[in-house]
A = this chain, B = another copy of it.
Amino acid sequence: MSEMQTFGNRPRARALGIAVGALATGEFNAITDVHGVRVGHRTIIQGTGALVPGQGPVRTGVTAIIPHAGDLFLEKITGAVVRINGFGEVTNTQQIDEMGVMEGPIMLTNTMNVPRVADAVMDWAFEHSTDMNVTTWGISPVVAETSDNYLNDGRGRHVHREHVFEAIETARGGVVAEGAVGGGAGMICYEFKGGIGTASRVLPAALGGYTVGVLVQSNFGSRAKLRIDGVPVGRELLDYDERLQRESHGSVIVVVATDAPMTSRQLKRMGMRVAFGLARTGTQGGNTSGDFAICFSTARNRPHHSTTLTLPLTQVVEDGALINTLFDAVAEATEEAVLNSLFQAETMTGRDNRIIHALPLPETVEIMHKYGHHEVHLP
């Protein structure tokens, strides 16, 4: 088993022989396979026992996705946010939709920390620009969230300026830590421990060899619905532990990156395929789900200031196999990224001594066998 298949202490889905979809993965099977994309996490875990609202215990964090190595304000990336179920917040979506671009890093955190993280992104941007809000307008941060209230003291808003800076500044390419890290620290997926997961797909050379990378912050799903490569694993594990009784079906944020040159309209079409990828894991979203796809292309940056009247920009032709294979890539990588968030996350005890178990791997393998998937085995 290569390192790529064991980012954490547990194996990734593919290390067990669970290889959903038909396309090849990138080198790291991660969003960082899209050239230039970096990821940084800051995980914040403090205290145990009974919830003291505003104090702890703390099971939260923040994740930064950095689209490119340049100035993220002056070189805006083409982007789009697609709403799947909108009971949640992604900041500045109207501006992204109006202008077709995003500014700055994409930040993932918990629900109540959105304002503090956005404020810290402003601080960070100010440090990199003496012009901002002096001779030009200010950055419009992109911050998305899911709620870790079940395990974490949400009221405390424990993600501070220094955590945000650290997530941004430690972001790197290559292997991405998954599971209960960064914004995913306190998240729950299909009533097992979830959090951050990532995956990628590379198109054949004849289709341009483009890469699609996905990173999820998974915090959704009722156990009974969980499917792994079509197998009703959740239904078979209903009695595995004391199940979570939550009112809500939770949420998921899915970040989709590609080096294929795509307009914001085309990226919206990509984002719609996220719903299909999620569905393959069993969910259909719930009433209070804040499920969003945040999509960007690294191949169509637009400068903040321009001295020309027009800009030549390349875009994918929407005819033939390329666009359809890009759609395949999004659905496949989304499905696998969710699985990786489950396979990588370890059991966590949080506020009020609530325990969320990791997906049990031996039992999962057994169930896969029961449903004919004999290619699956513990690594």
Q: Say how far A96's CB is from chain B's closest CB, in angstroms.
A: 8
Q: Say how far A182's CB is from chain B's closest CB, in angstroms.
A: 19
Which residues of A293-326 have CB atoms within 8 Å of chain B's CB atoms?
304-306, 308-320, 322-324
Choose, from A31-39, A126-134, A173-181, A188-196, the stretch at the interface. Answer: A126-134
Choose, from A5-13, A62-70, A257-265, A338-346, the stretch at the interface. Answer: A257-265
Q: Say how far A45's CB is from chain B's closest CB, in angstroms.
A: 18
Interface residues on A, range: 35 or more
Q: Say how far A311's CB is from chain B's closest CB, in angstroms.
A: 5
Whether A94 and B86, one on each chain, are in contact in the complex, defined by CB atoms closer than 8 angstroms, is yes
Decide yes or no whether A4 CB sits under 8 A from chain B: no
Whether A87 and B98, one on each chain, are in contact in the complex, defined by CB atoms closer than 8 angstroms, is yes
List residues of chain B with CB within 8 A of the CB of A379: none
Decide yes or no whether A249 CB sits under 8 A from chain B: yes
Whether B126 and A155, one on each chain, are in contact in the complex, defined by CB atoms closer than 8 angstroms, is yes
Measured CA separation A248–B130 after assembly (Å):
20
Whether B91 and A94, one on each chain, are in contact in the complex, defined by CB atoms closer than 8 angstroms, is no
Whether B279 and A53, one on each chain, are in contact in the complex, defined by CB atoms closer than 8 angstroms, is no
Residue of B nearest to A98 (CB): B86
Whether A309 and B370, one on each chain, are in contact in the complex, defined by CB atoms closer than 8 angstroms, is no
Measured CA separation A261–B371 after assembly (Å):
40
List residues of chain B with CB within 8 A of the CB of A315: 310-311, 313
Decide yes or no whether A118 CB sits under 8 A from chain B: yes
Whether A88 and B95, one on each chain, are in contact in the complex, defined by CB atoms closer than 8 angstroms, is yes
| With contact pairs A137-B248, A138-B112, A287-B318 given, residues A208 and B276 touching in the complex (Cβ less than 8 Å) | no
Option from B53, B155, B372 in Cβ contact (under 8 Å) with A372: B372
Interface centre among A261, A279, A328 (most CB of B within 10 A): A279
List residues of chain B with CB within 8 A of the CB of A280: 279-280
List residues of chain B with CB within 8 A of the CB of A286: 324, 327
Measured CA separation A284–B270 after assembly (Å):
10
Decide yes or no whether A243 CB sits under 8 A from chain B: no
- A interface with B by C-beta (< 8 Å): 22, 51, 53-54, 83-95, 97-100, 111-112, 114-119, 122, 126, 130, 132-134, 137-138, 140-141, 147, 149, 153-155, 157, 207-208, 224, 227, 229-232, 247-249, 261, 263-265, 269, 272-273, 275-280, 283-288, 290, 292, 304-306, 308-320, 322-324, 327-328, 330-331, 370-373
Can you offer 6 A-B residue contacts whose CB atoms are under 8 A?
A99-B318, A269-B287, A277-B279, A279-B280, A306-B320, A313-B313
